[in-house]
Amino acid sequence: MGVTASIAAYKACEIVRRLLRDKIGVSVVMSENATRLISPQVFSSLSCGRVYWDMFSDACGWEIEHISLAKQADLVLIAPATANIIGKLANGIADDLLSTLVTAVRVPVLIAPAMNENMLKNRIVRENINKLKGLGYKFIEPEKGRLACGDVGVGHLADVEIIVRQVKRFLK
């Protein structure tokens, strides 16, 4: 599970809890900026495992983390997904652990965007989303709701239940 720097990252905690409750193993990979919103220790406690976020951390033994994680994955869920990670993936930019992991996987990638409505409607962001959809990436569309800035609009992370249901669907 990839977690990026959206205020909706707190909902990723509940997604991890729900997946584990349903006996779905979860490894958490955070963007570096996400670690400024929620400590990796929170996800480590929830997932009962190591949290990955630093591309140049001390690797365990000889393993190259993004390749090792890619080989272990049955599915990659990015929730919340910012415009930044969507843009990186759409343009082949692999400059952090999460983007290099996604570049290396051969499994379905589910992306659950969360951002301000104006950002979501931005022409470049829309083109990036459409490009990724055309390449086979799957999206869990954001909902209308209260956004971090206080506005109400589309860009609110999809409901946790919807995200968990989609993960289960793709794992079958």
CA–CA distance from 93 to each of 3, 41, 85, 102 (Å)?
Answer: 17, 27, 9, 10
DSSP the chain: -EE-SSTTHHHHHHHHHHHHHTT----EEE-TGGGGTS-HHHHHHHHTS-EE--TTS--STT--HHHHHHHH-S-EEEEEE-HHHHHHHHTT---SHHHHHHHH--S-EEEEE---HHHHH-HHHHHHHHHHHHTT-EE---EEEE-TTS-EEEEEPPPHHHHHHHHHHHH-
Residue 128's pLDDT band, with cuts at 50, 70 and 90, is: very high
The mean per-residue pLDDT over the stretch 53-65 comes to: 63
Residue 12 pLDDT > 80, yes or no?
A: yes
Residue 62 pLDDT > 60, yes or no?
A: no
The mean per-residue pLDDT over the stretch 99-107 comes to: 95
Q: What is the pTM of this model?
A: 0.92
More confident residue, 148 or 126: 126
Active site residue 149: yes
| CATH code matching the domain that covers 2-171, chosen among 3.30.200.20, 3.90.180.10, 2.60.40.10, 3.40.50.1950 | 3.40.50.1950
Active site residue: 13, 48, 60, 149, which one? Answer: 149
Return mean pLDDT, the chain.
92
Residue 57's pLDDT band, with cuts at 50, 70 and 90, is: low
pLDDT at position 76, please?
97
